[in-house]
Amino acid sequence: MTFLAAAIQMATKSDKPANLERAEHLIRLAAARGAQLVALPETFNWRGKRADEPRAAETLEGESIARMARLARELEIHLLAGSIAEIAPGEEKRYNTSVLLGPDGARIAVYRKIHLFDVDLPGRVTIKESDAKLPGTEVVAAATALGTIGMSVCYDLRFPELYRRLTFAGALILAIPSAFTFPTGEAHWETLIRARAIENQCYVIAPAQFGPNVHGFSDYGNSMIVDPWGRVLARAPDQEGVIVAPLELDYLERVRRELPALGHARLNY
């Protein structure tokens, strides 16, 4: 089976209605280009000051996921709503939550980011995601008509054991919606994405945030779609937009058959 997949690159700000309008425009553009799987970046619906996040957070029944569900149903696509700040009942902190929607608009899977980005690069960027977010606990491999999709978010990319577990759970496609900082992205983004694709013999879709953000630093962009041999099929330029590439599952099976490394694994995850 072969189908087109799209990764959307955004520069999300603190105006949620404007962000949702922009996301819808880009999703419609991707669908018009024939994409059957469309992926949005991390925090696609809102990015603002941490003090404002409690007011911007939503439940999975809130306006952001509801609007994405209506679009998925109207356009008859699989839609990965990159991530939102999800309200956690009874908690002051929130989850960083990715939602996969089917062509009928129904939720196929929900993944809450496991690895939180707590980093201090002096003079460049300091972030402590755990101050505002709760870590998820569940590894999520979502069975779909297009193949099983392994779900993750941004900083998860640095933890190969997560992707090996997803692959052993049947994943053929790894989704990595992100907001990688420029310093870490320039150094490691492409290398890590291609490594995850090669070592797991999977397609990787990595939609990302781009450009200066409300936190005072820049996001790296470079949204990518990579094949199971580690080849970059599509890369976004330095702007908002859509990249599209074919995912050929017969080719994936050939890669796994001719280089059966997954079958040679000796350690359990």
**Rounded Cα gap, residues 30 and 236, in angstroms:** 13
Residue 145: which of 97, 112, 106 has the closest Cα? 106
**Rounded Cα gap, residues 86 and 151, in angstroms:** 16
Confidence band for 269, pLDDT divided at 50, 70 and 90: low
Q: How far is CA 76 from CA 9, 236, 240, 244, 246, in A?
A: 21, 24, 23, 17, 18
**Positions marked catalytic:** 42, 113, 154
Q: Calculate ∠ Cα 105-153-50, nearest 5°.
A: 100
pLDDT, position 123: 67
Query: Could you read off the pLDDT of 53-93 as tens digits, one per residue?
Result: 999 999 999 999 999 999 999 999 999 999 999 999 999 99
Rg of the chain in Å (alpha carbons): 17
CATH, range 2-259? 3.60.110.10
Residue that is written with structure tokens 């005072």 in the block: 216
Identity at 46, one-letter amino acid code: W
202-228 burial, b at 16+ Cβ within 10 Å, e below that, comes to bbbbbbbbbbebebeebbbbbbbbbbb
**Rounded Cα gap, residues 100 and 79, in angstroms:** 6
Evaluate if residue 232 carries a pLDDT over 70: yes
Query: Could you read off the pLDDT of 136-189 as tens digits, one per residue?
Result: 999 999 999 999 999 999 999 999 999 999 999 999 999 999 999 999 999 999
Tokens of 220: 């790296």
Query: Could you read off the pLDDT of 99-129 as tens digits, one per residue?
Result: 999 999 999 999 999 999 887 777 666 778 8
**8 Å CB contact between 39 and 177:** yes
pTM: 0.96
Confidence band for 130, pLDDT divided at 50, 70 and 90: confident
